[in-house]
Chain A
Amino acid sequence: MDVSQYLEIFLDETKEHLQNLNTQILNLESDSENMDTINEIFRAAHSLKGMAGTMGYKRMQTLTHDMENVFSEVRNGTIKVQPEMIDILFQCLDALEEYTNNIQNSADEGTNDNEPLIKLLQGVLNGEKEASEAGEKPAAEAPAANATESGSEEKWNEIALDESQVTVLLEARKQGKKVYGLNVRVQETCLLKAARAFLVFKAVEEHGEIVVSQPSAQDVEDEKFDRDFTLIVLSDANLEDIIKAAENVSEIEKVTGGDVKLPEAPVESKEMQKQEEDAVSVKAPEAAKAAPAAKTGTDKKPAAGKPVVNRTVRVDIEKLDVLMNLVSELIIAKNSLVSAAGQEQNNSGFNEQIEYLESVTTSLHESVMKVRMVPIESVVSKFPRMIRDLSKKLDKKLELYMTGEETELDRTVVDEIGDPLMHLLRNSADHGIESAEVRAQRGKPATGSIFLDAYQDGNNVIIEVRDDGNGIDVKAVRAKAIERGTITPEQAETMTDKEIINLLFLPSFSTAKQVTDVSGRGVGLDVVKSKIESLSGEVDVKSQLGVGSTWTIRLPLTLAIIQALMVVVGHEKYAIALGSIQSIEDVRPDEVKLVENKEVISLRGCVIPLIRLNQVLNSESSKSPEDNLNVVIVKKGDMQAGLVIDELIGQQEIVIKSLGKYIRQCKFISGATILGDGEVALILDANALI
């Protein structure tokens, strides 16, 4: 059967199932008795197995089959959920993910049998320790490269050696040479992993001969490894010397080494046989059990309270873009009809039809936008797992609370928002949450809490990352900024705390006293900021020392079409995005006061600086100084400003067009739009004006 046409669906669904498994296993870790969760995991594993089988991915099928067996036993209550088991399951998921990635890249699942994982799973089934030992025998293949967090330290014992390699090693050992295993881990922030790895290879080769490398030397050179690689080395030198040589290469985080356990050849084959027998004897009854178990699984489906999946059609995003562009055209056409109708006021029937057209285009636009909207869940659902791993790595107790996963954003925004969010979360986990001792001293609960809240606010979506950690040490930032020469001590005197905190968003600025592998060395917050700004959003931080910090990301719901206020400044028309406008005020000239030689007005108890747009835009105001001022109050975060304009035209739906690459983006202009009469109007970026 030709299944290639189903490949895409298979990949999509596999990813969904894997994500689901990740979430559910995480739930299982905190609540190991929850039958709903166990059933859900069982079902997902079962579907994965079935799909992999249909598509002919045998290795994937075998692995999921064994996972399914474990869950079936858990469900029957034969075995209990153990922390080690969770770790094994996560490794399995990583391995499955690797298969999926392989399939996505080459339509082939790859050749990694993941035998040690399968052995571990069977060990769980048997309740015997033996299998987990077997997993470390050299006969087995190494686990997936990205299963590093929970993998054993002595990776060199997991490398699959073929017979000739074993013979070479045994031969060398006979001649009195030492056989060492080395596990090298590069720092996470390392940019040129392959280059570093090459230097390690070179350093090690000065002391001995590299017999085996896992991943292969070629893969390492092509940077096809996660963060660590394992070597088996033949040498006369001391192990310490070799490790030292490797550690001398910069950006290498850790090198561990030890003797390689080399079994005598005959012993190995015997053990293999034994394991195989075990496997067979286990599999037979398991398979029998799995069948009825699967049936009960499906029967229970509605009872488990899983929401009924909506009927969906998968649509190529390019087709949606075309549709979107057509809607934009339609809106422009409609606008020109509206302006034509405005000139001929005598025909009321015509106006009615125009209004009807207007409401139709508006709802058409809304529905097309909605088609492009996806819940941010698809991005944030991977975070609980990430926090769990971080918690282990940093040795801090962390808990992530998420709300508003159902909040929807434009697909293009959702695709881009993952990295910045991940960075902020890592930042909170690493720099924000204090060590256990400090938390105890401060009388905070031992477990650090990180919150991820998403909600809609008008035309914007707000995503907040909050923690109850240390907060930002403004003094430290100030000192660091002076030390780095970012600001002068005199400047520092006059800067507010908020301004100091904003320095964090400058490139290469990190206050972490220690660079850890979790959050980097100052490349980060500036990237977060520029990424979010490229999505026309903004990021802001509030922090209280000792209490915690809140990072707020504000993103526009849609990027292409916005509601805007059209204004006139010096006979030219400009658009201001409605999202940033707070109110419109009529101000008498005598209400304008001077503070520090700048014009301000006092509005409902707030002093708001005035910006005369005609000065900013180099145009002549059509108003005389005695006239009342038309002031548009705009806000950016907590800051406000009053933009003085000449005339208001009204609210209009506008289609955002780029000004083109040729005109180097003028700071205050975020784009252009085409009005109903075909004229081009520029869009003012209120944020850049404040």
Chain B
Amino acid sequence: MSMELMTGNTTTAVAGENKSVAEYVQYIVIRLGVEQYGIDIRYIENIVRMQQITRVPHVPAYLKGVINLRGEVIPVMSLRLRMGLEAEENTRSTRIIILHLEEEGNVGVLVDEVKEVVELNTEEIEKVAYDKGGKQSFISGVGRHNGELISLLDLSSISLEENA
């Protein structure tokens, strides 16, 4: 876990030196299956390796349970299940990203892999139109990096509890 953190920090530091802050936002790129998603780095508290998750009964399926993070009990959810994808398999690259949300406090999300930190120019982020016939959208926009498209996760829609 510390290794990942280090990488993250270094990138931040380097990036901080050679840019005017206002137009760039840093995102951590994660992988879910074959798709790549970006999470705004300002909401990320920590990234830890997969560990023992204690199941909590009578909660929605995407809530995997709770973990112990240095004495704090933190709920963990499966991002795949939350977004209506297939359940994940735990692999060596599976990580739990600890998000710090204003309303709910710390919440962990399970992702298949944490890839890199990228800087996106806010002007290049395209807003996505709401379509898909009322299906909840978890994407706040799409960014472009080295020719690849990165969907940016809308954390507020993820954290809202399902009303189903």
Give A residues with C-beta under 8 Å from B: 329, 332, 572, 616-619, 657-664, 666-669, 672, 674, 678-682
Chain B at the A interface: mostly helix, strand, loop or mixed? strand
B56 lies within 8 A of A681 (CB): no
A–B pairs, 11, beta carbons within 8 Å:
A332-B71, A619-B57, A657-B71, A657-B73, A659-B66, A660-B104, A660-B106, A661-B103, A661-B104, A680-B54, A682-B54
State whether the Cβ of B17 lies closer than 8 Å to any Cβ in chain A.
Answer: no
Is B118 part of the binding interface, using a Cβ–Cβ cutoff of 8 Å? Answer: no
Q: Would A667 and B58 count as touching, CB distance under 8 A?
A: yes
Give the residue name and chain of the A residue nearest to B72 (CB).
Answer: A657
Rounded to whole angstroms, the CA-CA distance of A662 and B100 in the bound complex is 11
Task: Give B16-74 interface residues, CB cut-off 8 Å to A.
Answer: 52, 54-59, 63, 65-68, 71-74
Is A663 in contact with B54, judged by CB distance below 8 angstroms? Answer: no
List of B residues within 8 angstroms of A668 by Cβ: 57-58
- Interchain CB contact (< 8 A) of A672 among B52, B57, B73: B73
Q: A672-B73, A674-B73, A678-B68 are in contact. Are A661 and B105 (CB under 8 A)?
A: yes
Given contacts A662-B105, A668-B57, 4 further A-B contacts (CB under 8 A): A662-B104, A663-B56, A674-B68, A679-B54
Q: Is B143 an interface residue (CB 8 A)?
A: no
Name the contact of A666 in the complex, choosing from B57, B68, B72 (C-beta under 8 A): B57
Nearest CB of chain B from residue A622's CB, rounded to whole Å = 15
Q: How far is the CA of A682 from the CA of B73 in the complex (A)?
A: 10
Contacts of A617 in B (CB 8 A): 57
A617 to B56, CA, bound (A): 8
Q: Is A669 in contact with B57, judged by CB distance below 8 angstroms?
A: yes
Across the interface, do A660 and B75 meet the contact criterion of CB distance under 8 Å?
yes
Query: How many A-B Cβ pairs are below 8 Å?
Result: 73
Chain B residues with a Cβ under 8 A of chain A: 52, 54-59, 63, 65-68, 71-75, 101, 103-107, 159, 161
Question: Among A619, A660, A663, A678, which residue has the most Cβ atoms of chain B within 10 A?
Answer: A663
Bound Cα distance from A681 to B73, whole angstroms:
10
- Chain B residues near A616 (CB, 8 Å)? 57
Q: Which of B52, B55, B57, B159 contacts A662 (CB 8 A)?
A: B159
**In the complex, which of the residues A618, A660, A679 contacts B57, with contact meaning CB atoms closer than 8 Å?**
A618
Contact present for B54 and A329 (CB under 8 Å): no
User: Which residues of chain B come closer than 8 Å to A667, judged between CB atoms?
Assistant: 58
Give the docked Cα–Cα distance between A333 and B58 (Å): 31
Which of B68, B75, B104, B159 is the most central at the interface, judged by chain A CB atoms within 10 Å of its CB? B68
The closest CB in chain B to the CB of A663 belongs to: B75
Q: In angstroms, how far is the closest chain A Cβ from the Cβ of B42? A: 19
A660-B104, A662-B105 given; A329·B57 CB < 8 A: no
B52 contacts across to A, CB distance below 8 A: 678-680
Contacts of A329 in B (CB 8 A): 71
B50 to chain A, nearest CB (A): 14
User: In the complex, what residue of chain A is closest to B77 when comparing beta carbons?
Assistant: A662
Which residues of B have CB within 8 Å of A664? 59, 161
Given contacts A672-B66, A680-B66, is CB(A659)–CB(B56) below 8 Å? yes
- Cβ–Cβ < 8 Å partners of A679 in chain B: 52, 54, 68
Closest chain A residue to B104 by CB distance? Answer: A662
| Those 3 A-B pairs whose CB atoms lie nearest each other, nearest first | A680-B54, A662-B104, A617-B57
Q: In the complex, which residue of chain A has the Cβ closest to the Cβ of B51? A: A678
Determine if A682 and B107 form an interchain contact, defined as CB atoms under 8 angstroms apart: no
Q: How far is the CB of B87 from chain A (nearest CB, A)?
A: 17
